[in-house]
Amino acid sequence: MEISVIKTRLTLAQVLHYYHLKPDKNLRLCCPFHDDKTPSLQLYYKTHTAYCFSSNCKTHGKSMDVIDFIMNKENCTKHEALKKATEMITGEGLKAAPPADRLTTLHKIFTYFKNGVVNSQPAKAYIQKRHLNADAIDIGFNSGQFHYKQNDAAEAMQEYLNIGLLLELGVMSRFGKPAYKPFGKHCIVFALRDQEKRVVSLYFRSMSDDKSQRHFYLKDRQGLYPKYPRENTQKLIITESIIDAATIFQLHIDNVDNQITTVLALYGTNGWTDEHTTAIQALPELNEIIFFLNGDEPGVKAVQKYAPMMKSTYPKVKVSNVEVPHNEDVNSLLDSHSEEIIIHLIKERKEIEFLFSTEKSNENKKTEQAESPIFAREEVEVNTITSTPEEKENQVKTNGLDTQNPYNLKYASEAASYQIKGFKTDQMDSLKITLQIALN
């Protein structure tokens, strides 16, 4: 990789994150290049350089770019530093490949789970209820019986324990053997994959309605869903959950505005991982990031948090947001709409407007600071122009017709409240609607 490309794609914040170096609020560090008891290394995120003001430092008097920083940290040659920088960009070498036995076990057990869907009527009913197609995407079902197979040797049982598929109960069974609890029992299962498309972890989604116990991941979670985006991706759709990403994936929405499009799931509103960052860094043709998160307060706040991070890290990439009806998500939209609603909302997405300023006004000081050092920027203050669902809700009149949300028309009277969910009123080609009536 050329030096100019490395300097364009590798930020100083990423280098610090790699070496587990966290600056203070003034972007200063105890210099890692000499014995430093008070922070003397100043970081400049705008230029991606660093400067040590201590005369005791071997770098004193020299401004360091990302390559210089790696050279001094690794005490290596420039050629070796360039190789390390390339690894930071591509993700190679940042995490050891999973052991072969773990990969074999995960591949084997996920195949077993996929076959389990065929034999479970409750699983098939739940998958159908969620508008998912097990024939189009890989979905499994964990009945909790996998460790009872007679051909599972002691080595396999130990691997189940190591991976976290089995949990020891600390008691003996009625047969005089150790008792175990299967992880993710009675859940549908999705595979998380690495850059080689290998199954490296599993996500379990409970079929129950218990809101506090829905999502389960194997310990040491790694991998992405549905997979790492293709290198030639031009538009990337980011969803809040795996089921939302699966919903888009099975609709084959791989072309938006005649450009190559892929989808990538977060693991909840706080589920942005280093692997998400690595995956995006490896997309040289990316020109737009499309947030398609839930239409609730956490979803709105997540967009307000991640959108500025993306724009400050990739200023040339367009960042847009799909306006999801209040309290809906990608998958739930199909409860009262046809599949065309997903495509329509993506087409109607709005580019997020950002106000950039190098001077901190009182209003800008209220801007939420990025929690991850990967996206930190001192010189840029960002305001995202958007409205929260609560602000929109406060605008609803207590009586009369509310048409602010064309996908959720509301009418309130003294006797009852009505909601009509469906397509925009100017799209009469789709007449599938849901009418909800709540008596006062």
Domain residue ranges in the chain: 3-90, 100-191, 226-385, 396-439
Residue 386 has what pLDDT?
43
Question: How much is the pLDDT for 435?
Answer: 75
What does the alpha-carbon distance between residue 283 and residue 259 come to, in Å, rounded to a whole number? 14
Write down the pLDDT at residue 378: 33
User: What is the DSSP code (8-state) at residue 284?
Assistant: T
The stretches in the chain having pLDDT less than 50 are: 94, 150-151, 357-398, 423-430
| pTM for the predicted model, two decimal places | 0.62
One CATH from 3.90.980.10, 3.65.10.10, 3.40.190.290, 3.40.640.10 for 100-191: 3.90.980.10
- Residue 247 has which token pair? 């919903």
pLDDT of residue 149: 61
pLDDT at 9: 83
pLDDT score for 220: 86
Compute how many other C-beta atoms are within 10 angstroms of the C-beta atom of residue 386.
16
Q: DSSP letter at 323? A: -
Beta bridge partners of 420: 409, 435
Q: What is the pLDDT of residue 354?
A: 82
What is the structure's pLDDT at 42?
Answer: 94
Rounded CA separation 258/236 (Å): 13
- Check residue 432 and give its pLDDT: 57
Residue 206's SS3 state is: strand
Question: For residue 3, what pLDDT is reported?
Answer: 86
Q: What are phi and psi of 432, to 5 degrees?
A: -80, 115
Cα–Cα nearest to 47, from 59, 60, 22, 64: 64
Number of H helices, E strands in the chain: 12, 21
Cβ 275 vs Cβ 319: under 8 Å: no
Closest CA to 391 of 405, 377, 409: 405
CATH: 3.40.1370.10, 3.40.50.450, 3.40.50.150, 3.90.580.10. Which one for 3-90?
A: 3.90.580.10
What 8-state DSSP symbol labels residue 110? H
| Pair type for strands 255-256 and 259-265 | antiparallel
Q: Distance between CA atoms of 264 and 271, rounded to whole angstroms? A: 12
Q: What is the pLDDT of residue 433?
A: 64
Token pair 């595979």 is found at: 191
- CB-CB contact of 189 with 207 (8 Å): no
What pLDDT, in 10s, does the model give residues 35-74?
Answer: 988 899 999 988 899 999 999 999 988 999 999 999 999 9
CA-angle at 156, arms to 151 and 158, nearest 5°: 140
Which tokens hold the place of 335? 């409860």
Domain 226-385, architecture per CATH: 3-Layer(aba) Sandwich (3.40)
CA nearest to 44, candidates 20, 26, 68, 62: 26
pLDDT at 382: 37
